[in-house]
Structure 1
Amino acid sequence: MIKKIYIIFFSFASICHAAEEIKKQTDGEYVEETPWIHDFHSTVSDSVYMSAAWFDEFFTEEGSAQQNPKVNARIRLEWRPRSRDWNEIKARFRVKVKLPHFKNKVDLILSDEDEADQYQLPLETTHTQPEEEKFSASLRYMHTNGKNKYTDTRLGISGGDIFIRGRHKRYFNWTENSAFKVEPSIFYFLGDGLGSRLLLEYNFQEDPKTQYRINYSIEGSQSFSGIHWKHGFYRLKHLDAYTASVTSFQVEGERNGERDFVVDNYTVSYRYRFNAYKKWLFFEVEPFLEWPEIESYKTTPGIAFRVEGYFYKG
């Protein structure tokens, strides 16, 4: 039961578990499918798939049976106006290819986001510091992928810096309604040096539609002094078959560094996400309040509008 709301909410971020397509209804008749948006989805899906198949062929032994790769791609458009900053518009993409000739233990991941950034919490969507435009490409090898544990190694490049990272996840179910996750990782960047991170997570299932979650993350690296820490408190709510929400409070800062102990930012937000019109098309509205140290902890309101399209084949 503890994983019900987790699966429900993140099914919005997974085509494999997307809800059935919503069709607009007028006077009792369904509106017919719009040809151009169907063609757009098919074109993007086919293009990504052909590129993945071409890449996978390099690892195919001569005379072996052809296997089809599995591809998932996401394109996201976001406008996130803040007080004193109304021009933050971003377009993001992420492509994940599961390579069958490695027995589906290897993924190729391409993104214009920093895939190597581990400071962000799993449910975090707003960021205190300006985000740098970074292209990331990596190969991920899954050593174990069981029900209660997961171990992987990732080798790639992010922002022009080569990195390697090892990560282990372990889940513990205390009772029917509560679970705990431990996720240690260690990483090395050629430019920034050695680093490590520990993520702890506690989940409590209040009822089939409501879950509470607490996250705690600490990170240390040779690239900075002290330890970066972040707390997150969340309430996940399944509203209906096509909508979900997350109410969150986050606080982040650093300790044992040049400034000793300091809080960098407080954030309160309400994230509303829904699937509409097509099963692969999702929308989000997220109003939030921030109290950043760089603004002397003055209240900084903002709101994020997002549109995400998911493309898949294989």
Structure 2
Amino acid sequence: MLFYFAFANSAQAYTSQEVKEPVEQKDDHWMQGLHETVSDSVYQSAQWFDSFFIANESEQQSPKTTAKISFAWLPKSRDWSEVKPRFRVRVKLPHFQDRVSVVLSDEADDELNNLPLESVNTKSRIEEEKFSLALNYTQDKRDDRLMNYRLGISGGDIFVRAKHKRRFNISTKQGFLFEPSLYYYLDEGLGAKLLLEYDYQLSKKSQFRINYSIRGSAEFSGIRWKHGFYKLHQINETTASVLSLQVEGERNGDRGFVIDKYTLGYRYRFNALRDWLFFEIEPFVEFPEEENYSTTPGIALRIEGFFHKG
């Protein structure tokens, strides 16, 4: 599998490989200590949570835990102060045949608002950030399909979500993804989203991708949509890049058809120092409607750490 698929889900790409014991070096032993401390802390919490579902402690099995912690600085011409710390913890519970997992995150709206490869989203404000705790159940998971359900709380609002994912191989170079989802929030009401994706393999190390999503909800009028055009390239085993153009807006709302923003960016991602540590540099240019589509350049600098055990 090419390294650039880590852009879509770095945690899965990291944990899907065999985890090797890193060689401790004198000059960076503190980094390994940090990794072990965070991994052990998440793992112990998972064991404590999983123990509620067994009658005898002798039946205790080992859960699988994955945590992602990232820090991003997104300075741009009109705002140089935006810093985004992020975390996401996923715990698979062995007493449910790994079909059930607990997801703890501060990126609650990521799946609803963003495209899979979208990384620069400077529209969000601090008061819109939501903390999420959810129970995720996977009913049917295969290489070409997925069906799961999620029940949880986000920003003080209880929600339930159902998502179906189906992938079709048109040919050896072309693929298509169909992903509808239905969700309901007690405060915001019923909503639905449809994500479509087309992939074309240009070469062994290069791919062209188109994403399109539409979303409707009782929370707002009209339909919100996003287009994404991407050129993915694997530079070497530890480095990849994505050239992107995204357009987003709404239609059938109070203002009719409107384009909210254009975003052009180049994302450079590499793995360094440790196999669990990733760095990103992403210069971008925005053309937001609220600024009369004037040019707004910026750059995103990120550090991501992945912590896995079990």
Range with greater deviation from structure 2 (129-138 or 300-309): 129-138
Determine the structure 2 residue equivalent to 1:214.
210
**1:295 to 2:291 alignment:** yes
Provide the rounded CA distance (Å) in 2 between the counterparts of 1:31 and 1:71: 26
Cα contact 2:8–2:117 (8 A) shared by 1: no
Shift of 1:109: 0.3
Task: Please point out which of 114, 118, 127 is paired with 2:121.
Answer: 127
Amino acid at match of 2:105: S
Amino acid at match of 1:127: N
**Partner-residue secondary structure (3-state), 1:180:** strand
Provide the rounded CA distance (Å) in 1 between the counterparts of 2:113 and 2:89: 21
Determine the structure 2 residue equivalent to 1:196.
192
Distance of aligned partners of 1:201 and 1:20 in 2 relative to their CA distance in 1, 3 Å threshold: same
Task: Please point out which of 174, 178, 184 is paired with 1:178.
Answer: 174
RMSD after superposition: 2.0
Provide the rounded CA distance (Å) in 2 between the counterparts of 1:44 and 1:273: 23
Cα contact 1:267–1:291 (8 A) shared by 2: yes
Amino acid at match of 2:55: E
Distance of aligned partners of 1:194 and 1:12 in 2 relative to their CA distance in 1, 3 Å threshold: closer
**1:264 to 2:260 alignment:** yes
Provide the rounded CA distance (Å) in 1 between the counterparts of 2:77 and 2:40: 41
Determine the structure 2 residue equivalent to 1:37.
31
Shift of 1:64: 5.9
Shift of 1:130: 2.2
Distance of aligned partners of 1:242 and 1:98 in 2 relative to their CA distance in 1, 3 Å threshold: same
Cα contact 2:250–2:256 (8 A) shared by 1: yes
Provide the rounded CA distance (Å) in 1 between the counterparts of 2:7 and 2:260: 29
Q: TM-score, normalised by structure 2?
A: 0.93
**Partner-residue secondary structure (3-state), 2:153:** strand
**Partner-residue secondary structure (3-state), 1:152:** strand
Task: Please point out which of 205, 209, 227 is paired with 1:231.
Answer: 227
**Partner-residue secondary structure (3-state), 1:175:** coil
**Partner-residue secondary structure (3-state), 2:34:** helix
Shift of 1:20: 9.1
Cα contact 1:5–1:236 (8 A) shared by 2: no
Provide the rounded CA distance (Å) in 2 between the counterparts of 1:178 and 1:192: 38
Q: TM-score, normalised by structure 1?
A: 0.92
Determine the structure 2 residue equivalent to 1:26.
none
Shift of 1:34: 1.6
Determine the structure 2 residue equivalent to 1:164.
160
Count, aligned residues: 305
Cα contact 1:5–1:208 (8 A) shared by 2: no
Determine the structure 1 residue equivalent to 2:248.
252
Range with greater deviation from structure 2 (3-12 or 44-53): 3-12
Shift of 1:63: 6.4
Distance of aligned partners of 1:117 and 1:150 in 2 relative to their CA distance in 1, 3 Å threshold: closer
Provide the rounded CA distance (Å) in 1 between the counterparts of 2:250 and 2:115: 15
Distance of aligned partners of 1:33 and 1:17 in 2 relative to their CA distance in 1, 3 Å threshold: farther
Amino acid at match of 2:301: F
Which structure ranks higher in relative contact order (CA pairs < 8 Å, sequence separation ≥ 6)?
Answer: 1
Query: Counterparts in 2 of 1:98-117, with a 5 A limit?
Result: 98-115=92-109, 117=111
Provide the rounded CA distance (Å) in 2 between the counterparts of 1:111 and 1:140: 13
**1:151 to 2:147 alignment:** yes
Deviations 1:212-248 (A, max 9, x none): 0000000000000000000000011000010001100
**1:94 to 2:93 alignment:** no
